[in-house]
Structure 1
């Protein structure tokens, strides 16, 4: 008991009552609803001001079809010239923030098992990214301008018939022990009652890690790597999920496989672009 009294005397009531950041462990100053400097949708509960700033979402200055970013994040989301001229195999892309800094470190630490506790925060960011994009689509009427090369199509993800994670090759899945694309998607699907089908899309070739290749080689590496089950996707709108999109080669190949199997529409949701 004497040890406990000395321990309590050494810790201030402020420290005892403060919450700790879910990322760095620093105290989180309480706001009016238990969050630090909370706005309508940011930050999620349990982030200190520094981590909230480092993980803040990208709200503008990007193409809502492919995620290509402009210099000014204050600009409204707008279709890029490449997407106007040549449609992507997916209709819309939602992402939380650019791939870099603290977000990159957390994704890598979660994916390779160094910090599994980061998974809860990353899943929250994943859910918020979809909801932010869907809300933007509702506000803006949900359509892109018609052009001779790009038909009218919603520029934000819509409520899907099925959520489909980008699969790992069986040998890599066995080595890692889990598919991060599936783990990120589960809370979102659970919240809205959408089915998750991890068998609808298969990785049929054991490709080299995309991170080790240049853009052109990535497309060659991933070509023909996926196959979709028509019985599971025909006539359905699919939300394709992954942790990171860089060149887009992986999600484009996966989306093409889903469309070839009869999916009516594919949207993409990733944590980082």
Structure 2
């Protein structure tokens, strides 16, 4: 299994430059376009537009975008009816965009095809989601450590990397926060959540994680994952972290399904 994971990582990365020095190939769609030396992003204009942050006020509990018309802005996003009735086990949840279109394509390619050349673009989106959220909710600035949602060791050896940890690296570096993977470990192998319906996901993930009181007690943690679907995995992680003594847990995801 380890050999298979290494083989996936050793797979040649998608060609970023064409045969001509004055052209680049967009890592998102593969289109060749003129190089722009002073532009940080290597994505083409269409892909950059497709990755623009979503519009609308999002529920700070689950990330669901409100149907409120844009001409009626709120002073602060408020909890949706579902989160008011059944509060989530975390403080705030932030996400960059909906799990659809180009963002979904890039996440799937990065995660399952070892397209590590897409990592920087996705890291930038995750960082921007946090910075935007911190401007609205100052309590997010109290985060003291970053905790990626862990993979089971067998899944990690197969994939070769934990996408949540890799996506969090830029944020951690810019914010000066340590990534503490040992704060949360996966102790039970489960069926991939994406293979289950909504009703079975919570049962499938229950008891799959263990949290460290030595790392978390009295501290505010930022829990990071790539995708939130029903939220069952994140809820289980946050509950275990709070049970281990975390003062607060906030959640940051790249995409919300």
| TM-score past 0.5 threshold | yes
Question: Which residue of the other structure, out of 223, 240, 246, is the alignment partner of 2:223?
Answer: 240
2:211 alignment partner in structure 1: 228
1:192 alignment partner in structure 2: 175
Q: Distance in 2 between matches of 1:72 and 1:112?
A: 36
Q: Post-superposition, which runs of at least 4 consecutive aligned residues in structure 1 deviate over 6 A?
A: none
Q: 1:73–1:202: structure 2 CA closer, same or farther, 3 Å change rule? A: farther
Maintained 8 Å contact 2:59/2:79 = yes
Find the residue that maps to 2:113 and give its secondary structure: coil
2:233 alignment partner in structure 1: 250
C-alpha deviation, 1:136, in angstroms: 2.4
Find the residue that maps to 1:227 and give its secondary structure: strand
5+ residue gaps in structure 1? Answer: 1-14, 36-43, 139-153
Residues 4-54 of structure 1 show CA distances to partners (whole Å, capped at 9, x for unaligned) of xxxxxxxxxxx8656654423442686xx945xxxxxxxx63332211221
1:23 alignment partner in structure 2: 28
Q: 1:227–1:192: structure 2 CA closer, same or farther, 3 Å change rule? A: same
Larger radius of gyration: 1
Q: Distance in 2 between matches of 1:21 and 1:79?
A: 38
Q: 1:96–1:69: structure 2 CA closer, same or farther, 3 Å change rule? A: same
Q: Distance in 2 between matches of 1:179 and 1:158?
A: 25
Q: Distance in 2 between matches of 1:171 and 1:104?
A: 25
C-alpha deviation, 1:204, in angstroms: 1.0
Question: Which residue of the other structure, out of 182, 189, 211, is the alignment partner of 2:165?
Answer: 182
Q: 1:86–1:132: structure 2 CA closer, same or farther, 3 Å change rule? A: same
Find the residue that maps to 1:96 and give its secondary structure: strand
C-alpha deviation, 1:115, in angstroms: 2.0
CA RMSD for the aligned pairs? 2.3
Q: 1:18–1:113: structure 2 CA closer, same or farther, 3 Å change rule? A: closer
Q: Distance in 2 between matches of 1:135 and 1:160?
A: 14
Question: Which residue of the other structure, out of 27, 43, 55, is the alignment partner of 2:51?
Answer: 55
Which has the higher relative contact order, 1 or 2, with Cα contacts under 8 A spaced 6 or more apart?
Answer: 2
1:67 alignment partner in structure 2: 63
2:9 alignment partner in structure 1: none
TM-score normalised over the length of structure 2 = 0.83
Q: Distance in 2 between matches of 1:72 and 1:19?
A: 41
Q: Distance in 2 between matches of 1:124 and 1:28?
A: 22
- Aligned runs of 1:122-161 on 2, under 5 Å? 122-138=122-138, 157-161=140-144
Maintained 8 Å contact 2:123/2:167 = yes
TM-score normalised over the length of structure 1 = 0.78
